Structure 1
Amino acid sequence: MLENPKPDGHLPPPALERAIFGFMASHVLFAADDLGLLDRLAQGGTHEGPALASEVKTEPLALDRLLTALVSLQLLTREGDGYRMPDPVRPFLRRDSSLYCGGVFPLLKNFSTRTFQHLGEAMVDGAPQWKKVLPGEGAAPFDIMYQDAAALERFARAMWSLGYQAATELVDHLRLERGGHLVDLGGGSGSFAVAALQRWPALTAEVFDRPAMEPTVARTRSEYGLSTRLGFTGGDFFESTLPRADVYALGFILSDWTDLQSVRLLRSVHAALAPGGRVLILERLFNEQRTGPLPTALMDLCMLLETGGRHRSASQYHGLLRQAGFLPGPVHHSSYEKHMVVGIKD
């Protein structure tokens, strides 16, 4: 029998406790965002519970429980009878902030939490589990999403919130003073393309995505004043001929696909690039020891469950680039969870 290492050894270690209750914490966050509670508190100031309950139209005693949970999660502080959101947290939970991370919450709440219920089954068969949680006759997740305008808009917003801030750092490494043309492949609303165009005034760009994404890109073009510099081409990047370019950006694309599918796509990109052109693989990266980071490890399981893809280390992406005919280039890290692995067409 194992002996307790210390008098309170009957208590689970904090890491284990966080793992046990982590799904509850996520739903506290999702519910508070759905209610508009987080956005209200992120505006600043101290707010009393009854007033908050009236503003977000909730039962006061029930909301008090939710507020207590948010305090325990250190997302709020309690000051007398009021609640305040700490300043470092506010930009990430305020809906009108460029740092707002809640765009991804509906996807995690409505899809990922359901697929994770089948994680044990995925360990047995090594296959995606989305068919067990999505309606219809075997339609793939992306096919369903692109047929639903509201779902597509939520997805585009989520991808923007995950990618734009990292992109503003990573585009500094492109050195495109002389311009050229960039294709943001599967680029959604065009977060990387916009960041690159803002940084390099002589550059032009286009988003290549399924035709249903065109209205979203049109709104991006108008919002950022890029009417003559940001274009759109509709198509399927596995089936369509890709447009010619000097630079291709693949943001959170290859992690959706197997190694074989990724090499196939990279070969198509290689054929579309000008000599000396570059492909930019923009992804979460495992460290080379594959011990983390934790968000990458968890999202790697998400890829297994939802798409059949995977997250990789920089060296693994270099291996895929070599198979597709590229010379592996530098790896650039951002302050966020999206980094850049460069491939060069010799």
Structure 2
Amino acid sequence: MENQNNHPTPETIMKIGSGFWASKILLTAVHFEVFTKLAKNKSMTAQDLKSELGLQCTDRHFFDFLDTLAGFGFLNREGLLEKAQYVNGTEANVFLDKNKPSYMGGILEMMNNRLFGFWDNLEEGLLTGLPQNEAKKGENIFEAIYRDPDKLKIFVHGMTGVQMGGFIGFAEKFDFSNYKTLTDAGGSAGMLSIMVAKHQPHISCVTFDLPPVEAIAKETIQKFGLSDRVKTASGDFFANPLPPADIVVMGNILHDWDEEAKLSLMKKAYDALPAGGAFVVIENIIDDDRKENVFGMMMSLNMLIETGTGFDYTFSDFNKWAKIVGFKSTNILPLAGPTSAAIAYK
């Protein structure tokens, strides 16, 4: 990075190099439910919040913690130190309060509880090409997660959190006028189906995932009062046919797998659709020049950490696979931040 005098500065190097400091501060605030407590109490002093959290650090260090969150824009502050009053910033109030349906902290909880430590082994992942998570003990990552109810809940809510913006964007921006039914393959807690049903009253949805997830999905659907238009179905999308629908969606599914498995899943979606039906993947689609969507490329590295062979991809990659499977045409719809919907029509 260069300043106005064209002299290089280390600003960006230090910002990225120390990025784990900033990350851990936010993840810790989510872990302590700082934003949820502030939303409930409207406004709190540092001392009141520290006392409620039961922290033993010095007051000065807790001021540092809260004021850093304020500097990032997650909190707003009036006053200074002992006299300061803290409230949530706009984004934190919407997305980081556990009592709101828009809560996306699940992915941050998973980052804190699982991924933060695993990413310490990125060097080993690049050296060996092997996953750096629970699979290091010889376990299949999905079998390990789905076997443990606590890990499964963390994983399911994590997947919901990372995709919430994209789900809402899809429900609002996609043209549903010619369709009546939707299957979300790998639907996890059912939030995509819920968002679509909420925004598109004429659409009926099925959220499809492995049997251990069904109870979580049903609980979420009932919470939103949409059991009449959002149903659950259980199965393995490699072993079983997908429930037929006018639209088949996969959110953060294809990137888990290598190219052969990606094509297999796209063929499953193709077979579940009628002529004119739409297959939609909601992912962090990397720009074709591989310059802009850095988050998408980092997510692809996360697939190295998690699966070893999975990877994120460009729209050109998606077009190539759609053509192989037999789809007639494709389109891409930007949704929220780095997330897009890549669409293939049968």
TM-score normalized by the length of structure 2: 0.88
Conserved? CA contact 1:42–1:93, under 8 Å: no
- Write the distance in 2 (CA, Å) between the matches of 1:207 and 1:29: 31
- Write the distance in 1 (CA, Å) between the matches of 2:241 and 2:154: 28
Q: Which amino acid aligns with 2:318?
A: Y
Are positions 1:23 and 2:24 aligned together?
no
Conserved? CA contact 2:179–2:246, under 8 Å: no
Conserved? CA contact 1:285–1:314, under 8 Å: yes
Q: Which moved more, 1:165-174 or 1:320-329?
A: 165-174
SS in 1 for 2:225: coil
Q: Quote the offset at 1:338 in angstroms.
A: 2.5
Q: Quote the offset at 1:332 in angstroms.
A: 0.6
Corresponding residue for 2:53? Answer: 56
Conserved? CA contact 2:210–2:236, under 8 Å: yes
Corresponding residue for 2:289? Answer: 289
Match of 1:122 among 115, 122, 125: 125
Q: Quote the offset at 1:77 in angstroms.
A: 4.7
Corresponding residue pairs, total? 337
Aligned residue runs from structure 1 range 41-190, under 5 A: 41-43=38-40, 45-59=42-56, 61=58, 62-78=61-77, 79-80=79-80, 81-84=83-86, 85-131=88-134, 138-177=138-177, 179-190=179-190
Corresponding residue for 2:29? Answer: 32
Q: Which amino acid aligns with 1:34?
A: H
Pair 1:273–1:105, CA change in 2 (3 A): same
Q: Which moved more, 1:84-93 or 1:100-109?
A: 84-93
Corresponding residue for 2:320? Answer: 319
- Write the distance in 2 (CA, Å) between the matches of 1:193 and 1:230: 7
Conserved? CA contact 1:179–1:200, under 8 Å: no
Pair 1:37–1:225, CA change in 2 (3 A): closer
SS in 2 for 1:330: strand
Conserved? CA contact 1:326–1:344, under 8 Å: yes
Q: Structure 1 vs Structure 2: percent identity of aligned residues?
A: 24
Q: Which runs of 5+ in 2 are unaligned?
A: none
Pair 1:327–1:53, CA change in 2 (3 A): same
Q: Which runs of 5+ in 1 are unaligned?
A: none
Q: Which amino acid aligns with 1:293?
A: N
SS in 1 for 2:238: coil
Conserved? CA contact 1:43–1:90, under 8 Å: no
Are positions 1:228 and 2:202 aligned together?
no
- Write the distance in 2 (CA, Å) between the matches of 1:173 and 1:64: 42
Q: Which moved more, 1:175-184 or 1:253-262?
A: 175-184
Q: Deviations over 1:45-74 (max 9, x none)?
A: 543222211111112514334224434444
Q: Which amino acid aligns with 2:335?
A: S
Corresponding residue for 2:246? Answer: 246
Pair 1:131–1:39, CA change in 2 (3 A): closer
- Write the distance in 1 (CA, Å) between the matches of 2:231 and 2:335: 26
SS in 2 for 1:291: coil
Pair 1:222–1:86, CA change in 2 (3 A): closer
Pair 1:72–1:200, CA change in 2 (3 A): closer
Pair 1:98–1:15, CA change in 2 (3 A): farther
Q: Which moved more, 1:107-116 or 1:124-133?
A: 124-133
User: Aligned-pair RMSD on alpha carbons?
Assistant: 2.6
Conserved? CA contact 2:247–2:280, under 8 Å: yes
Conserved? CA contact 1:170–1:334, under 8 Å: yes
Q: Deviations over 1:9-34 (max 9, x none)?
A: 7xx52221111111122111122222
- Write the distance in 2 (CA, Å) between the matches of 1:171 and 1:118: 37
Q: Deviations over 1:261-313 (max 9, x none)?
A: 10011112212222222100111111221013232222121111112211112
- Write the distance in 1 (CA, Å) between the matches of 2:285 and 2:179: 29
Pair 1:158–1:218, CA change in 2 (3 A): same
Q: Quote the offset at 1:88 in angstroms.
A: 4.4
Aligned residue runs from structure 1 range 248-267, under 5 A: 248-267=248-267
Q: Which moved more, 1:163-172 or 1:281-290?
A: 163-172
- Write the distance in 2 (CA, Å) between the matches of 1:197 and 1:112: 32
SS in 1 for 2:99: coil
SS in 2 for 1:339: strand
Conserved? CA contact 1:49–1:60, under 8 Å: no
Conserved? CA contact 1:243–1:272, under 8 Å: yes
